[in-house]
Structure 1
Amino acid sequence: MARPEKPLDPGTGPVAQFADGLRCLRREARLSYRALAQRSSYSPATLSQAAAGEKLPSLAVTLAYVQACGAGTDLAGWEARWHQAEQAVRRALASVRTGTEADAPAPYRGLARYEPTDSALFFGRSRLTDQLLALVGRERVSVVIGPSGSGKSSLLRAGLLPRLQHPGPTDTSGLRPAGLRICTPGSRPVSRHGALFVPRESEAAGAAERTGDDTVLVIDQFEEVFTLCSDVDEREAFVGLVLAARERGSRLRVVLGVRADFYSHCLRHPGLTEVLREAALPVGPMSTDELRQAITKPAVAHGLVVERALTARLVADVSAEPGGLPLMSHALLETWRHRTGRTLTLEAYEATGALDGAVAKTAETLYASLDDRQALLVRRVLLRLITPGDGAPDTRRPTPRSELDFGHPEEISAVLEQLVRARLITLDDGHIDLAHETLIRAWPRLNSWIAQDRERLQLHRQLSDAARTWQQLGRTTSELWRGARLDAARAVFAPPSRQADLTPAESAFLHAALRERRHATLRTRAQAVAVGLLVGLTLLASALALRHHPADRNERLRTTARELAHTADSLRPSDPALSARLGLAAWSIADLPETRAALLAIGAPPTRLTTPFTPAARAAELCGRDGVALTREEWQQYIPSAPYQPPCPGAAGRGPTPDP
């Protein structure tokens, strides 16, 4: 006789609740574990352990248990329940370990780059660091170039900078820099970083050319000059500052880090082309031995052990994944968080999603824990951190914290805290950034968001930059959008659902542009009305004068025609239609040099002429357009002092003349 199962309280956690569901399923089927074993490929002990409530069973055991109980039609429902329970267990485990992680620093950086303070954990790139050190000692401007995920930023920050700061006994480069500086260009590279190109007086004091007097400036993610800086003049000025360091008296050495995707962008500039030809260091994949060092040595430095099976699996996975170093670091970080004692195991690695799925699993686990409002804010925040490529790859976009003022401050802060805790974003000096561009391609949900909103995102990036410039220049009217760009922004962001995507500064910029357009329209209309009144009063005065002085009637008509021609010229830029009507009327009143010029200036002349292009031919052509010539009623309204002239004069080469 089988022993009864231990009592189980479903309220003690997700594992107990899941086990209780399995027990209920077996009781309804009225089957023993021995009978379940006969219906499945698992032993009675394994099936009994699945419903014990001590740990969550595997998905395969769960589905076999359910099918043996006769509930095979609900396998999809039980699979969904298992995934929910598994996520709940993972969140609970992460929250328990959050307090201990502060006491036990992680040996891996995840998606984040290695900083100079992480040099003790930076392994596998000693050979490349030596080559870079020699290159910087030889060339005043050098370039580190490689694909996304190859470790360029970590090489510059955790490899080069510490070696420059603390040269080793085997260092033969001769570099003894007087100063070390580092920056990323951003949207305003000259405004923000121009001062970094000026050496201190002590550095420039020596007359002799000594390597030790130079300042070394590292410009990481140099591709931001092309992706974030929309001002062509500022971009050229920044490149000019970089190339000026090649002069022997500059007292400066510049090291650029560039993504290989933007190699062609650099080749468009002759000076950068020369640097790439003479002083470029390509960052390729790590060798097998270098990968082993990057996997095992950080763990050893923290007193941990990496299973040989895990090391072999990671080496194989990363070797088959171009740009997979951030993925490897993140997978190792997650494996460390789910380690068993002091050992990082292959089982934990696979449970976290392995190389291809670890990032997506981390992101999806976070996303599944959010309510609807938080999930919407996460989408808006992450899309703010993306620069969608236009004929180029999508890139990350470091964003000021102030640009996230599109929701309640407490809600935004809570969402950012969760993203930081999941190591998906970083906060640095008031700016927010993706932990790595790998997140764009490694998380399918984020990738689909970008694909759905690509055109809107491109317009939104332009709107954000324009609003920032408008604010910096004191909200000048000249910086406001007009024409097609304003029409596009109004169409995209006018719906209430899209207005929530805008910050107060962006919303103020868009409203100011629309308000200025309305004012400009009103001014144009008022100007047209004023001109019409002026013309009417002028013609009325002329008519009254002609009535009292018949001898001067022809001269008055000529004066009226000249005034109409002048008015037509002044209205041509703002109201071409009214200008055309008045110009034709002026020539109809009197054929004068001024009226001919006004008539011939209406529109572009024909490209091919079979007859001389006379005012009469022009008038005949214009009269063929609907609404160009004044009708009799309009003539009487605007020019009552002059006799009405038909819209289409004769083809004699001369227009109408005033009546005697």
Structure 2
Amino acid sequence: MTGSGRGTGVLDAAVLRVFDAAGRAVGLGFLVADGLALTCAHVVPGGGVVPLGRAVEVDLPLLRPDARVAARVELWVPAQVAAGDVAVLRIEGELPGARPVRLIDADELREHPARIFGLPERSPGGAWHHVVLRHRRGDGWVRADLTGRSFAVAPGFSGGPVWDDELSGVVGMMAMAEAGDSPVSYLLPTSGLLAVWPELAEFALPPSPFRGLRPFRESDAALFHGRRDESAEVARAVAAHRWTALVGPPGCGKSSLALAGVAPLVREDGGCPVAMRPGGAATPLRALASALLPVLEPGLGETGRPAETTALAGVLAGQGLSGVAARVLEVQRRERLLIVVDQFEELLTRSPDEIDELVRVLFDARAPDEVRVLCTLRSDLVTLVLAHPRLRPVASARVRELEPVRPERLREVISRPVADSPGVDYEPDLAERIRTDAGADPGALPLLGVALDLLWEHQERGVLTHRRYEELGGVAGALGRYAGSAWHDHVPEADEAAAERLLARLVRAPRGAAATRRIARREELGEREWAIARRLAATRLLVLRGGEPPDGVELAHEVLISGWGRLADRIHQDRSFRDWRDSLRRALDRWERAGRPPDLLPTGGALAAARCWLPARERELGDAEREFLRRARAHRSALTRRRRILVSALLLVLVLALLLAAASLVRAGDDRGGAAAAPAPPVATAPGGAPSARPPDPRRA
């Protein structure tokens, strides 16, 4: 077995199926340490006696089904005992690939989304039960309400771990459901498991006081440190002005300050804060309606939310905020309504009609004086917002620029959460080392948050150590290493192409501007891409949006765009591809304007560049572009064939010329040879037989 990890993919290596002596599957369990597992006592019933030492078998149904090993009951506490129904199993064989999960002992679980795996009879391959956690009963058990269309808890779920999507860890064990086909079930939380088996404390952690890539929210106010003065200043600005814009570079903590710093102060002063994201729903106005509905209808169940959200969006579009705001303040018994528009720059990606729809409601001068609006906005996108005719008046109304965290406050961000956690501490000098590594970069906070969150998870008996900090990669390297590891663990090789397509849909990289994240809607993604998105969401690299069931997914933070090498490379490739595609479109336009002459079709160099992107990204081209390239290739092939014919003809002429020349040379040689064979004229001789130097005189006889 190996060490613990993060993400619901970890459950694949931790969830056990329990078999009785007859070989029948009787329930589930999960590994909490090497060789130790938890399950429900009723999964291994005593039959009238305490079954200590009883033999069972287990396997890993999500990883290696039917590769069974032996186990024995080491502790058994029946359900009749307060906070009981717990059994501890000692695994006696080796389970290849198995990994324990880390339990989280959290006091507050209300409204957290969670999921439980089960093996009910009607789904032999297994099913996921999606729930929202509710209140604790008097006996300590926690109620869980079914959401969406997932399976209700039934026999086959007992003993399984409950994975909390908010805390990204196991917060208890599924124990029972109400009779019949009820959407209500109950889990025994980690605190109850600890009460039954105190030795489990060695393997359990308190919830991390750090948020990694997630922004702090209003409920995290007690954990939000280092921004007290700025929070008070912005709260005063909000009280004095209808519209306020909080501007700062990516990663400086704008969202956290607005949600966990300003919102609690507004509530203390008699206000009712709500938060929305313009890109968080099908339209910005629907996102506003989704934010207002919980405070307008606090008791509304999950199943009624979609229809009520649509109805409320219609009321806002027709009547504005006046009536709705008055009703909210009446229901909540508050004096003012604060609407936080987080990631205001997301409006840049919306249609003019959608922008107008939201602006008319939120920024109407006739809106009630009790309504205040606080927007968070990236400073590198302010120019684009100010250039927009409808957004400029809003963004320039009242601007507060958020500066980087000062060194003394950064020390508080690092040290205070650990100091407030009983039994946990840094090794000497580690906190100061981390502060130095974080430096003064205004965008360092998310990198710091990831490093601290992972360091907390890897603490050693309550101590955050230098050794673990170095292994994680420090402030600068922790995000990249973690993202790479999560990708390796959750994206098998067969899914890599689909996962790369998913990443491409999560980023918007306009020419001449910084890349930003975007929400990819469920309908944009194929089944495989959506399955990958859900797996990566469990690692906190991605975040599911739109409630339960979710209807969108996005990157957890902008910092992933630059801090995750795989994603940064993808963005660079996409920009290079778009540059090539734009040049192709310009060539296509020139060709069509000139009447489609063959000599303006792409040449060899352009076609060679096309081969770098095709066929892998051919579906991202339009029909006209594909036809343009097809004609260019056909024209190129025709030219090549004509060139070959011409070259062949020239070679033939050359060969014939050489043959003729050779024949001429042969004939000339033959003529010279014939002349050499003819009889020579007689030679005159002088007296005595010597040749005469003079020619013979014809007058002489």
Of 240, 246, 249 in structure 2, the residue corresponding to residue 144 of structure 1 is 246
CA contact (8 A) 1:199 1:251 kept: no
Of 346, 349, 360 in structure 2, the residue corresponding to residue 224 of structure 1 is 346
Residue 212 of structure 1 deviates from its aligned partner by 5.9
Please tell me the residue identity of whatever aligns with 1:349: Y
CA contact (8 A) 1:114 1:158 kept: yes
CA contact (8 A) 1:185 1:219 kept: no
SS of residue matched to 2:100 = helix
| Residue aligning to 2:409 | 290
Kindly tell me: are residues 424 and 178 of structure 1, through their superposed partners in 2, closer, same or farther at Cα, counting changes over 3 Å?
closer
Of 462, 476, 481 in structure 2, the residue corresponding to residue 342 of structure 1 is 462
Of 558, 563, 572 in structure 2, the residue corresponding to residue 437 of structure 1 is 558
SS of residue matched to 2:376 = strand
Residue 306 of structure 1 deviates from its aligned partner by 2.3
Residue 443 of structure 1 deviates from its aligned partner by 1.3
* CA distance, structure 1, for counterparts of residue 344 and residue 580 of structure 2: 23
**Which residues in structure 2 correspond to 1:475-554 (within 5 Å)?**
497-498=616-617
User: Residue deviations 1:449-484, cap 9 Å, x none?
Assistant: 111122657999xxxxxxxxxxxxxxxxxxxxxx99
Of 321, 330, 334 in structure 2, the residue corresponding to residue 199 of structure 1 is 321
Kindly tell me: are residues 179 and 300 of structure 1, through their superposed partners in 2, closer, same or farther at Cα, counting changes over 3 Å?
closer
Residue 270 of structure 1 deviates from its aligned partner by 7.1
| Residue aligning to 1:134 | 236
User: Residue deviations 1:110-142, cap 9 Å, x none?
Assistant: 112122222222111111111111111000000
User: Residue deviations 1:208-237, cap 9 Å, x none?
Assistant: xxx9644221111000111x21x2343345
Kindly tell me: are residues 364 and 242 of structure 1, through their superposed partners in 2, closer, same or farther at Cα, counting changes over 3 Å?
same
Of 470, 484, 488 in structure 2, the residue corresponding to residue 368 of structure 1 is 488
User: Residue deviations 1:504-537, cap 9 Å, x none?
Assistant: xxx9xx89x99xx9xxxxxxxxxxxxxxxxxxxx
User: Residue deviations 1:15-36, cap 9 Å, x none?
Assistant: xxxxxxxxxxxxxxxxxxxxxx
Of 537, 540, 549 in structure 2, the residue corresponding to residue 420 of structure 1 is 537
CA contact (8 A) 2:451 2:479 kept: yes
Residue 378 of structure 1 deviates from its aligned partner by 2.2
Q: Please state if 1:396 is matched with 2:498.
A: no
* CA distance, structure 1, for counterparts of residue 372 and residue 509 of structure 2: 32
Kindly tell me: are residues 257 and 401 of structure 1, through their superposed partners in 2, closer, same or farther at Cα, counting changes over 3 Å?
same
Residue 285 of structure 1 deviates from its aligned partner by 1.0
* CA distance, structure 2, for counterparts of residue 441 and residue 297 of structure 1: 28
Residue 98 of structure 1 deviates from its aligned partner by 4.0
Q: Please state if 1:119 is matched with 2:221.
A: yes
CA contact (8 A) 1:146 1:283 kept: yes
User: Residue deviations 1:553-596, cap 9 Å, x none?
Assistant: xxxxxxxxxxxxxxxxxxxxxxxxxxxxxxxxxxxxxxxxxxxx
Please tell me the residue identity of whatever aligns with 1:420: A
SS of residue matched to 1:223 = helix
Kindly tell me: are residues 124 and 375 of structure 1, through their superposed partners in 2, closer, same or farther at Cα, counting changes over 3 Å?
same
| Residue aligning to 1:465 | none
* CA distance, structure 2, for counterparts of residue 249 and residue 422 of structure 1: 42
Residue 276 of structure 1 deviates from its aligned partner by 5.2
* CA distance, structure 1, for counterparts of residue 227 and residue 360 of structure 2: 31
SS of residue matched to 2:544 = strand
The range that moved more, 365-374 or 278-287, is 365-374
Output the TM-score relative to the length of structure 1.
Answer: 0.50
Q: Please state if 1:332 is matched with 2:452.
A: yes
SS of residue matched to 1:102 = strand
| Residue aligning to 2:337 | 215
CA contact (8 A) 2:321 2:368 kept: no
CA contact (8 A) 1:217 1:253 kept: yes
CA contact (8 A) 2:543 2:555 kept: yes
Larger fraction in strand: 2
Q: Structure 2: any 5+ residue segments left out of the alignment?
A: 4-95, 105-168, 172-204, 290-312, 582-591, 594-609, 628-701
Kindly tell me: are residues 135 and 456 of structure 1, through their superposed partners in 2, closer, same or farther at Cα, counting changes over 3 Å?
same
CA contact (8 A) 1:387 1:458 kept: no
Residue correspondences, number: 377
Q: Please state if 1:96 is matched with 2:113.
A: no
Residue 420 of structure 1 deviates from its aligned partner by 2.2
* CA distance, structure 1, for counterparts of residue 617 and residue 445 of structure 2: 37
Please tell me the residue identity of whatever aligns with 1:252: V
* CA distance, structure 2, for counterparts of residue 255 and residue 458 of structure 1: 37
* CA distance, structure 1, for counterparts of residue 378 and residue 340 of structure 2: 15
Kindly tell me: are residues 319 and 496 of structure 1, through their superposed partners in 2, closer, same or farther at Cα, counting changes over 3 Å?
closer
| Residue aligning to 1:108 | 210
Residue 176 of structure 1 deviates from its aligned partner by 2.6
Kindly tell me: are residues 492 and 151 of structure 1, through their superposed partners in 2, closer, same or farther at Cα, counting changes over 3 Å?
farther
The range that moved more, 348-357 or 117-126, is 117-126
Of 387, 406, 415 in structure 1, the residue corresponding to residue 508 of structure 2 is 387
| Residue aligning to 2:284 | 189
| Residue aligning to 1:257 | 376
| Residue aligning to 1:301 | 420
Residue 163 of structure 1 deviates from its aligned partner by 2.6
Kindly tell me: are residues 292 and 307 of structure 1, through their superposed partners in 2, closer, same or farther at Cα, counting changes over 3 Å?
farther
User: Residue deviations 1:346-386, cap 9 Å, x none?
Assistant: 22112101111111101122333443222223222122111
Kindly tell me: are residues 149 and 250 of structure 1, through their superposed partners in 2, closer, same or farther at Cα, counting changes over 3 Å?
same
**Which residues in structure 2 correspond to 1:38-53 (within 5 Å)?**
none
* CA distance, structure 1, for counterparts of residue 2 and residue 326 of structure 2: 67
* Pairwise CA RMSD: 4.0
Output the TM-score relative to the length of structure 2.
Answer: 0.48
User: Residue deviations 1:419-456, cap 9 Å, x none?
Assistant: 22332111122221111010010112211111112265
Q: Displaced runs of 4+ in structure 1, greater than 6 A?
A: 457-460, 491-496
* CA distance, structure 1, for counterparts of residue 98 and residue 443 of structure 2: 28
* CA distance, structure 2, for counterparts of residue 267 and residue 139 of structure 1: 19
Please tell me the residue identity of whatever aligns with 1:147: P
